[in-house]
Structure 1
Amino acid sequence: MSRRRRLALLSLAVLLLAGIGLLHWLLQPQRLAPALLGMAGNALGLEISASGVGEYRLRGTPQLIVRGVTVREPGAATPLLTADRVFISVPWSTLRARGRELTAVRLELDAPVLDLAALQSWLSRRPAGETRIPTLTDGVRVDGGRIRGDDWSLERIDLRIPRLEAGQPLRGQVQAHYRGGELQAPLDLAFHLRRLGEDGGLGVAGQATPAGKDWRLPARLRLSAYLRQAESRLERAVLGASAHYLAGATRQSFALGVAGPLEFADGLRLRPAAFALRGQGAMPSLDAAGELGLEDGLLLDWRGRLAGWPDAWPALPPPLGRSTSALPFALAYRGTTDLADIAHLRLQREDARFDARFRLFEVMDWLHALQAGGGSPLPPLSGRFTAPRLEVSGATLEGVDLQLDDPALPAPESAP
Structure 2
Amino acid sequence: MSLPPRPARPPQARRRWRRLLLLLPPSLLGLLLVLALVAWLALPPARLVPMVLARIGASIGLEISAEGDAATRLGRHPLIVVRNLVAREPGAERALLRARRVEVALPWRTIRGLGDPLALVRVELDGPVLDLPALQPWLASRPSGEGRLPTLEEGLHVRDGRIDGAGWSVEAMELTLPRLRGDAPVRARATGRYDDGATRAPFALAATLQRPASGRGFAVVGAVAPARAGWRLPTSITLSGALHWQDRLALLPARFGASGRYLAGETDIPFALGLHGPLRAHAGAWTLLPAGIALRGGGLVPELDARGAFAIGQRLRLQIDGRIAHWPEAWPTLPPPLGASRQPLALSAGYRGLFDLSAPLALRVVRDDLRFDGRLHIPGLVDWASTLDQGSLLPPLEGRLEAEAMEISGARLEGVRIEFDDDAERGP
Question: TM-score per shorter chain, which class?
Answer: 0.7 to 0.9
Q: Which residue of 2 aligns with 1:311?
A: 329
Q: Which residue of 2 aligns with 1:195?
A: 211
Q: Which residue of 2 aligns with 1:12?
A: none
Q: 1:206: Cα distance to partner?
A: 1.0
Q: 1:94: Cα distance to partner?
A: 0.9
Deviations 1:323-342 (A, max 9, x none): 12110000111222232222
Partner of residue 109 from structure 2, selected from 81, 93, 96? 93
Identify which range, 235-244 or 383-392, moves more after superposition: 235-244
Secondary structure, counterpart of 1:52 in structure 2: coil
1:56 matched to 2:65 = no
Alignment of structure 1 residues 5-404 onto 2, 5 Å: 23=39, 27-124=43-140, 132-230=148-246, 232-266=249-283, 267-371=285-389, 373=390, 375-404=391-420
Structure 2: stretches of 5+ with no match in the other structure: 1-31
Q: 1:317: Cα distance to partner?
A: 1.6
* 8 A contact 2:146–2:182 mirrored in 1: no
Counterparts of 1:222 and 1:89, CA distance in 2: 34
Counterparts of 2:206 and 2:94, CA distance in 1: 31
Q: 1:310: Cα distance to partner?
A: 1.4
* 8 A contact 1:382–1:409 mirrored in 2: no
Identify which range, 155-164 or 387-396, moves more after superposition: 387-396
Kindly provide the amino acid, as one letter, of the partner of residue 316 in structure 1. L
Kindly provide the amino acid, as one letter, of the partner of residue 287 in structure 2. R
Kindly provide the amino acid, as one letter, of the partner of residue 412 in structure 2. T
CA RMSD across the alignment: 2.5
Q: 1:153: Cα distance to partner?
A: 1.3
Judging changes above 3 Å, is the alpha-carbon distance between structure 1 residues 410 and 203 closer, same or farther for their aligned structure 2 residues?
Answer: closer
Counterparts of 2:103 and 2:190, CA distance in 1: 19
Kindly provide the amino acid, as one letter, of the partner of residue 240 in structure 1. G
Identify which range, 78-87 or 266-275, moves more after superposition: 266-275
Q: 1:125: Cα distance to partner?
A: 5.3
Kindly provide the amino acid, as one letter, of the partner of residue 318 in structure 1. P
Identify which range, 226-235 or 73-82, moves more after superposition: 226-235
* 8 A contact 1:47–1:71 mirrored in 2: yes
Q: 1:130: Cα distance to partner?
A: 9.3
Q: 1:384: Cα distance to partner?
A: 1.3
Judging changes above 3 Å, is the alpha-carbon distance between structure 1 residues 365 and 403 closer, same or farther for their aligned structure 2 residues?
Answer: same
**Corresponding pairs, count:** 393
Q: 1:167: Cα distance to partner?
A: 1.4
Q: Which residue of 1 aligns with 2:26?
A: none
Judging changes above 3 Å, is the alpha-carbon distance between structure 1 residues 100 and 131 closer, same or farther for their aligned structure 2 residues?
Answer: closer
Judging changes above 3 Å, is the alpha-carbon distance between structure 1 residues 289 and 181 closer, same or farther for their aligned structure 2 residues?
Answer: farther
Q: Which residue of 2 aligns with 1:7?
A: none
Secondary structure, counterpart of 2:211 in structure 1: coil
Q: Which residue of 2 aligns with 1:5?
A: none
* 8 A contact 2:154–2:178 mirrored in 1: yes
Judging changes above 3 Å, is the alpha-carbon distance between structure 1 residues 179 and 288 closer, same or farther for their aligned structure 2 residues?
Answer: same
Deviations 1:216-266 (A, max 9, x none): 111111223123342533224322222111111111112222222222354
Kindly provide the amino acid, as one letter, of the partner of residue 41 in structure 1. G
Q: 1:207: Cα distance to partner?
A: 1.0
What is the TM-score of this pair, normalised by structure 1?
Answer: 0.87
Counterparts of 1:57 and 1:280, CA distance in 2: 61
* 8 A contact 1:245–1:251 mirrored in 2: yes
Q: Which residue of 2 aligns with 1:10?
A: none
Judging changes above 3 Å, is the alpha-carbon distance between structure 1 residues 128 and 202 closer, same or farther for their aligned structure 2 residues?
Answer: closer
Q: Which residue of 2 aligns with 1:6?
A: none
Secondary structure, counterpart of 1:119 in structure 2: helix
Q: 1:127: Cα distance to partner?
A: 6.6
Q: 1:408: Cα distance to partner?
A: 5.0
Kindly provide the amino acid, as one letter, of the partner of residue 346 in structure 2. P
Q: 1:23: Cα distance to partner?
A: 2.9
Structure 1: stretches of 5+ with no match in the other structure: 1-15
